[in-house]
Structure 1
Amino acid sequence: MILDNVIDREFQMMLLPLNILEILYCQPKFRITETFITPNGIRENLLCTLGVLLMILANVGYVSINSYIPGNDEISDIIHSFICTDAAFYIVYCLLMYAMNIIYKNQIVQLIIKMQKAYRVLQNENGLRRFQKSNWIFVVAVFLFYFTYNLSYTIFNIYRVTHLLYDVVLFYFDVNIIVAIRIVKFLEYELILWKKELNKFLKTCSTTNHNQLVKYLVNVSYEERLLLSAYSNIIGAFGLCANVFGMSVSNFLLNFMS
């Protein structure tokens, strides 16, 4: 139903820093028009395609600029092979991400909808405002740390300027990780809220005498259905998150451990 795709203004604000990061790196996951969230349209798909083309050009350009060391052909050949292999990996991985973005375009929308449905039951405005701020802080802090880390290597002449620019481009592959972290963090927060509401509900039932429970049985049943619905949406959102971001997270963990 189209009404299921209505997304509240406050929820949009919570997602805004993640959306901006995705658009900045040509990886929009969905489209929000006024109060509706829908899968990527032609404009978003073109932006994703542009991102893939830019990644390919960046890798080809980096190989051509940095794979030759004057005066040492043997080392140049080794470095050239290494950089070419690295670039080929990034290009293939970029194409896989592009394909996954298309395959899971409906699931990412369902993920956001389930997150919001659960929140509508659990309602905590202060918590949502905190996430609006913390998402901005997290996105900006991670990007600045990443840029500063690579800039320091450039300042001390360990990296060339071209390497710094290339690393900024490669942040493309970390965007999904950042988005996944914040989504999982919000889902964990919803689970905490759900547990509090469940404990409150159970306490109310345990302290209410039998006659009153029978009298208000309809309300009790309604509360049960709401809590069950919220839990179902949270668990469903976790599953969708694993589908949508699983490949990016797995690759990140493999690189981190290697």
Structure 2
Amino acid sequence: MTSWSNDTAGNGQYAEVNGINLYYETYGEGRPLILLHGGLGSGEMFGPVVSLFADHHQVILVDLQGHGRTADIDRPIDVALMADDIAALIDHLGLDRPDVVGYSLGGGVAWHLGFRHPEKIGRLVTASANIKRSAIYAEMLGQQQQVGAAAAEFMKDTPMYQLYQRVAPRPEDFPQLLDKIGAAMAKDFDFSEEVRAMRVPTLVVAADADMAPPSHYVEVFGLLDGGHRDGGWMAEGRPAGGHALAILPGLTHYNMFLSPLFATVAVNFLDEEKN
């Protein structure tokens, strides 16, 4: 097992926003960057790489609904609703168009921030976040169907369960979280048209052995006007919206968030000169 712990203490606080008491930690200084974790994790899962982001930005590390130190509320786990939470947090903190980096579930939340609240954010990085359910490998869809309260007993040796038991306000809610995550993953989705209309400069990141094939993320880049022509000597052929694509070698869906390469690629994109 890999440790998700962070040796650097953050400044942890709660914000009452959008009907939920969101926990977040802050690290570093500079232009604000909101960092969003994957499903069944928490902001703490970025512990080994958070300093790579904080060397360049003020990092706001959020625990999403029902995850980490943020208690669940009476609503489904839904990336659109969680995007509204983050939009409300941006307003609560008085942030001026922060950049957003999201991985897996957090990547879905990041996409929806771009769809629903483009005026509130600067640049976007979505890592290992699929835009349609049909792109996910069939065997993975089968595994997702097994996620539910009945699986709680079998997860006791996993870092997800151990982290939840250590930090959650109500550790006994773990089976409920599994039920909600399972229900969310069972729903069909296809956000191709929303991606095609994206107005926020976005970096699409995936591992070369991710939950969907690399071709899916190339397809997403194509929806963002990428990959249709030569880039040109002066980059005049790059996507007009400032979008980009990165397929990271030697990684999987399950170690992407721990990789210094992921952090480096994300920060490089965020720190490019804005048009």
Q: Do these two structures clear the TM 0.5 threshold for a shared fold by scoring above it?
A: no
Q: Hey, which of these two has a bigger chunk of strand by percent?
A: 2
Which structure would you say has the larger Rg?
1
**Could you say which structure has the greater relative contact order, defined with CA pairs below 8 angstroms and 6 or more residues apart?**
1
How high is the TM-score relative to the length of structure 2? Answer: 0.24
Q: Hey, which of these two has a bigger chunk of helix by percent?
A: 1
